[in-house]
């Protein structure tokens, strides 16, 4: 008559564990990766952290790489790539992670991976997280409801707390948030949310020390710096610059279409910059072919068109690497190796930017609040980026009114000037990476690594 309490308990326990492992979160060590020769010489773990209540509605995918130096003592950093909606795998594979794609002619077979000697994981534990939902391998039942600035902030905060519960051995490590490009907007808000939650005693306590941001979007004023920057870099004439200043009065974002002289000057400006790669003005300009229908670009026979479901970019272009990443991440063997749950993601896109609700228009106030609380910060700029020019970054830093601790000076690598730096009160450091673009460590890996490893070790640049 009466049920067996022992067995019921077991069943309950089993169901509880099943829920925990199948739905809430999972983690797996990855020892081999398709395209990489031999076992990985670093510790890679991939996994999911489930947010929300109990079901598998919101699943955040991450790549975690242990420091190759001293994982117990080295800091732990959460990395967010920009977009909004670019997979942090982009940061891993193209900027600061331990492997990258081997740039070689694509012949249809799986792209190869090679080590990046200047990986930031040489000195730091890094979690590369796929957020907002819809990004990379993270998935949610109803994407539309999950894609906004504040959702991204809350999800990232919830993610890191849950991740630390699953990895208590990292609770005492110093914790940093690293972000670049668009994530200059949600990044500081995430840091503030973590800090606020720590203050009210939310567990587990996160050993938050600071944040670093690369060419970060911050105030929305950035667009007004494109023209002065292009002038300073010799991309437009003195006369056009003078005329633009006169006719548009320094406001180049929302143009009154009745202001014909300003519109005329801006059209001329656009023509001058048509062939310029805005992410790195020294690099090749390459049309992004990924969004184009193959038919439009492959004017070949029908059979060839049917065979090619994609367009291969020029191997000399940065986007060739993005193409390799997309081929790689969509390969079944890769997904298996990464322990991506079957049937959750149809096609991996490096960036999924649709349907995002922009709610935070400036992160300036977050910087004001955070530095008052004593968090360290490194703000760096690849100085040949037109998207977020270093001049716009310096302008908002100046507007913080911090006193200068050590004034503008070159910082060196191998006896050569690698960029310029200045330190401010409130533990803020600004640095340029000379001759680099929007994603500074991508184009200047040695300099990027030197800058990061010095800053994270609290050494002067």
Ligand X SMILES: *[C@@H]1O[C@H](CO)[C@@H](O)[C@H](O)[C@H]1NC(C)=O
Nearest to 353 by CA among 91, 50, 82, 58: 82
Q: Decide if 399 contacts 405 (C-beta within 8 A).
A: no
CB of 362 to ligand X, least distance (A): 9
Q: How far is the CB of 192 from ligand X (least distance, A)?
A: 6
366 near ligand X, rule: CB under 6 A: yes
- Give yes or no for residue 108 binding ligand X (CB under 6 A): yes
What are the φ/ψ torsions at residue 299 (nearest 5 degrees)? -80, 70
CA distance linking residue 445 with residue 425, whole number of Å: 28
Closer to ligand X by Cβ: residue 59 or 436: 59
Question: What's CA 95's distance to the chain center, in Å?
Answer: 9
| CB-nearer residue toward ligand X: 140 or 289 | 140
One residue of 2, 3, 4, 142 binding ligand X per CB under 6 A = 142
- Residue 55 CA, chain-centre distance (Å), reads 28
159 contributes a contact to ligand X by CB under 6 A: no
Pick the binder of ligand X from 254, 309, 401, 416 (CB under 6 A). 401
Active site residue 25: no
Size of the chain, expressed as the number of residues it contains: 461
What whole-number distance in Å separates Cα of residue 375 and Cα of residue 362? Answer: 19
Residue 369 sits in the site that holds ligand X (CB under 6 A):
yes
Torsion from C-alpha of 403, 406, 407, 411, nearest 10 degrees: -140
403 is an interface residue for ligand X by CB under 6 A: no
Does the annotation mark 181 as catalytic? yes
Q: 154-174 burial by CB neighbour count: b if 16+ within 10 A, else e?
A: ebbbbbbbbbbeebeebeebb
Between residues 216 and 441, which has the closer beta carbon with respect to ligand X? 216
Residues 337/33, Cβ–Cβ less than 8 Å: yes
Token representation of residue 255: 């143009």
Active site residue 74: no
368 binds ligand X (CB under 6 A): yes
Q: Are 440 and 419 in contact (CB under 8 A)?
A: no
Catalytic residue among 183, 385, 392, 436: 385
Q: Which CB, 53 or 414, lies closer to ligand X? A: 53
The 189-228 contact track toward ligand X, x by CB under 6 A, reads ---x------------------------------------
Minimum distance between the CB of residue 314 and ligand X, rounded to whole angstroms? Answer: 18
Binding interface with ligand X (CB under 6 A): 104, 107-109, 142, 144-145, 192, 365-366, 368-369, 399-401
* Residues designated as active site: 181, 385, 438
């Amino acid at each position: 008559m009466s049920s067996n309490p022992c067995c019921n308990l077991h069943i309950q326990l089993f169901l509880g564990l099943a829920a925990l492992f199948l739905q809430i979160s999972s983690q797996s060590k990855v020892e081999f990766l398709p395209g990489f020769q031999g076992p990985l010489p670093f510790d890679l773990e991939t996994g999911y952290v489930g947010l929300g209540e109990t079901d598998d509605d919101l699943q955040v995918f991450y790549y975690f790489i242990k420091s190759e130096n001293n994982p117990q003592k080295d800091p732990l950093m959460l990395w967010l790539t920009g977009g909004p909606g670019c997979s942090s795998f982009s940061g891993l594979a193209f900027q600061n992670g331990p492997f990258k794609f081997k740039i070689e002619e694509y012949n249809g077979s799986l792209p190869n991976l090679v080590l990046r000697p200047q990986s930031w994981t040489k000195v730091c534990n890094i979690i590369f997280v796929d957020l907002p939902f819809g990004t990379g391998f993270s998935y949610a039942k109803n994407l539309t409801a999950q894609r906004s600035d504040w959702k991204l902030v809350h999800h990232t905060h919830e993610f890191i707390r849950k991740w630390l519960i699953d990895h208590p051995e990292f609770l005492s490590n110093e914790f940093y948030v690293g972000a670049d490009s668009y994530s200059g907007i949600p990044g500081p808000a995430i840091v503030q949310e973590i800090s606020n939650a720590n203050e009210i005693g939310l567990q587990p306590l996160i050993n938050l020390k600071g944040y670093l941001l690369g060419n970060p979007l911050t105030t929305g004023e950035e667009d007004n710096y494109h023209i002065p920057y292009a002038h300073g870099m010799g991309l437009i004439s003195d006369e056009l610059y003078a005329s633009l200043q006169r006719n548009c009065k320094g406001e180049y974002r929302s143009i009154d279409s009745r202001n014909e002289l300003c519109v005329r000057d801006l059209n001329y400006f656009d023509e001058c910059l048509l062939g310029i790669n805005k992410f790195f003005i020294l690099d090749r300009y390459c049309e992004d072919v990924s969004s184009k229908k193959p038919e439009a670009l492959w004017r070949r026979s029908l059979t060839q068109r049917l065979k090619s479901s994609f367009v291969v970019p020029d191997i000399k272009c940065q986007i060739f690497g993005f193409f390799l990443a997309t081929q790689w991440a969509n390969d079944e063997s890769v997904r298996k190796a990464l322990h991506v749950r079957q049937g959750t993601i149809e096609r991996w896109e490096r960036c999924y930017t649709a349907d995002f609700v922009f709610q935070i228009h400036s992160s300036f106030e977050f910087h004001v609040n955070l530095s008052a609380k004593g968090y360290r910060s490194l703000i760096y700029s690849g100085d040949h980026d037109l998207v977020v020019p270093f001049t716009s970054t310096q302008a908002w830093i100046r507007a913080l009114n911090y006193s200068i601790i050590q004034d503008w000076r070159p910082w060196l690598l191998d006896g050569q000037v690698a960029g310029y730096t200045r330190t401010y009160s409130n533990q803020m450091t600004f640095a340029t990476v000379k001759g680099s673009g929007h994603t500074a460590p991508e184009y200047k890996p040695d300099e990027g690594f030197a800058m990061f490893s010095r800053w994270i070790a609290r050494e002067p640049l």
